[in-house]
């Protein structure tokens, strides 16, 4: 037994020391979260990614203004701010094809059309937008702003037997020994991208770890893969980007958005014949950094969850995982 193991055993057996040790562990892990958030949230030192997310935030707010039922002139300060942001963004390389940039330009175009429709062309904010848009004439067109939807058009698609669909999904831990094809993976991720996200910032990402050596390293590192047919796992890692979050009240925003995204991803996979099981990322921050290093994940991202996935076998053994009753989880107040 080495010295470290002896000390750890001693600590565990001594009540006062055990508490002190726990206190230290809690402090170090939680203060990492705090430091990480402060260093990477969108109002810390500007970089391209943070600026992009701040542009998405303002763009979305302007877009909402265009869907107002009783429109008034709006967005003077926000359009000016967005124009300034666009010129800062243009200083970074490869900016023209970025979603945040194209979206922002199109929001300004939509804003100008909205003002024209309302007959507000004499306003200063309209003139400022029009003058600045000249610079971005060649940027790709995108549908933004507000549009009207009719219940009769979507209600038929919405009345699928959703309960039956969800009832047919189970976490599975063995798969056919086959790689998920790119087209299936891409299809599932495109469906998951339809998930709602706070202010449409779309802060989540999926990494499909196709390199077997890397995947094995991660599978060993995570804690929840006991009982899986490990050789058959296609490993997915879902992350979210703290660069998208703009205030302390958003400190848990990423986890929540990643939850919505991941569930839709699992359901999307299920809808195309691919089974999955979440594997919690209950790891230390040091291990999280190791995962990020192995996958070359950008510094502002955090790991939300691992997902083991693969094509369904014909026959699988799974736990029942019974559900709590309605009374346990629902209360009318």
Minimum Å gap between C-beta 190 and ligand FMN is 22
State in angstroms the smallest separation of the CB of 307 from ligand FMN: 9
B/e letters for 80-98, b = 16+ CB within 10 Å, e = fewer, are eebbebbeebeeeeebeeb
Residue 221 CB, shortest distance to ligand FMN, in Å, is 12
HEC string of 226-259?
CCCCHHHCEEEEEEEEHHHCCCHHHCCHHHHHHH
Nearest distance from residue 49's CB to ligand FMN, in Å? 26
Q: What burial letters (b/e) apply to 146-165, b meaning 16+ CB within 10 Å? A: eeeeeeeeeeeeeeeeeeee
Contact 308, 173 (CB under 8 A): yes
Residue nearest to ligand FMN (CB): 224
CB 280, min distance to ligand FMN, A: 4
Shortest Cβ 2–ligand FMN spacing (Å): 29
Q: Which is nearer to ligand FMN, 41 or 278 (CB)?
A: 278
The tokens for 281 are 């990322």
- Tell me whether residue 172 is exposed, middle or buried, using C-beta atoms within 10 angstroms of its C-beta: 0 to 12, 13 to 18, 19 or more: buried
Give 189 or 277: the residue with its C-beta nearer to ligand FMN: 277
Give the nearer residue to ligand FMN in terms of CB position, either 76 or 224: 224
Q: Which two tokens stand for residue 66?
A: 């265009």
Query: Which residues fall within 8 angstroms of residue 218, CB to CB, at 6 or more apart?
Result: 209, 235, 237, 291, 294, 295, 306
| CB 166, min distance to ligand FMN, A | 9
User: Cα separation of 271 and 204, whole Å?
Assistant: 21
Nearer to ligand FMN by C-beta: 114 or 278? 278
Q: Which of 326, 15, 311 is nearest to 180 (CA)?
A: 311
Which of 57, 305 has the CB closer to ligand FMN? 305
Catalog residues that contact ligand FMN under the rule CB under 6 A. 170-171, 173, 224, 277-280, 305, 321
Q: Show the 3-state SS of 62-94.
A: HHHHHCCCCCCCCCHHHHHHHHHHHHHHCCCCC
Q: CB nearer to ligand FMN: give 138 or 321.
A: 321
Residue with smaller CB distance to ligand FMN, 14 or 280: 280
Tell me whether residue 320 or residue 330 sits nearer to ligand FMN (CB atom): 320
User: Shortest approach of ligand FMN to residue 188 CB, angstroms?
Assistant: 17
Point out which residues pair with 307 in neighbouring strands: 236, 278
């Amino acid at each position: 037994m080495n010295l470290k193991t002896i000390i750890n055993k001693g600590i565990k057996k001594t009540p006062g020391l055990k508490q002190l040790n726990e206190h230290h562990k809690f402090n170090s892990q939680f203060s990492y979260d705090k430091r990480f958030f402060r260093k990477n949230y969108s109002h810390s030192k500007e970089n391209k990614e943070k600026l992009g997310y701040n542009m998405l935030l303002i763009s979305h707010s302007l877009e909402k203004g265009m869907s107002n039922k009783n429109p008034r002139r709006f967005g003077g300060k926000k359009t000016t701010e967005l124009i300034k942001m666009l010129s800062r963004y243009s200083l970074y390389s490869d900016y023209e094809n970025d979603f945040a940039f194209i979206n922002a330009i199109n929001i300004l175009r939509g804003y100008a059309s909205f003002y024209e429709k309302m007959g507000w062309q004499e306003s200063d904010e309209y003139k400022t937008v029009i003058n600045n848009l000249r610079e971005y004439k060649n940027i790709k067109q995108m549908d933004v702003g507000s549009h009207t939807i009719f219940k009769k058009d979507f209600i038929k698609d919405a009345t699928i037997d959703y309960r039956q669909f969800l009832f047919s999904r189970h976490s599975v831990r063995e798969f056919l020994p086959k790689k998920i094809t790119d087209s299936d993976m891409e299809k599932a991720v495109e469906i998951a991208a339809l998930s709602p996200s706070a202010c449409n910032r779309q802060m989540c990402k999926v990494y499909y770890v196709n390199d077997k050596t890397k995947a094995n390293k991660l599978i060993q590192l995570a804690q929840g893969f006991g009982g899986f047919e490990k050789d058959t796992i296609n490993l997915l890692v879902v992350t979210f980007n703290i660069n998208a979050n703009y205030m302390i009240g958003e400190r848990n925003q990423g986890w929540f958005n990643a939850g919505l995204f991941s569930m839709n991803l699992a359901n999307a996979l299920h809808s195309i014949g691919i089974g999955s099981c979440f594997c919690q990322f209950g790891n230390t921050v040091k291990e999280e950094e190791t995962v990020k290093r192995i996958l070359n994940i950008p510094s502002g991202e955090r790991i939300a969850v691992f997902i083991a996935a693969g094509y369904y076998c014909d026959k699988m053994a799974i736990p029942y995982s019974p559900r709590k009753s309605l009374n346990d989880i629902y209360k009318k107040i």
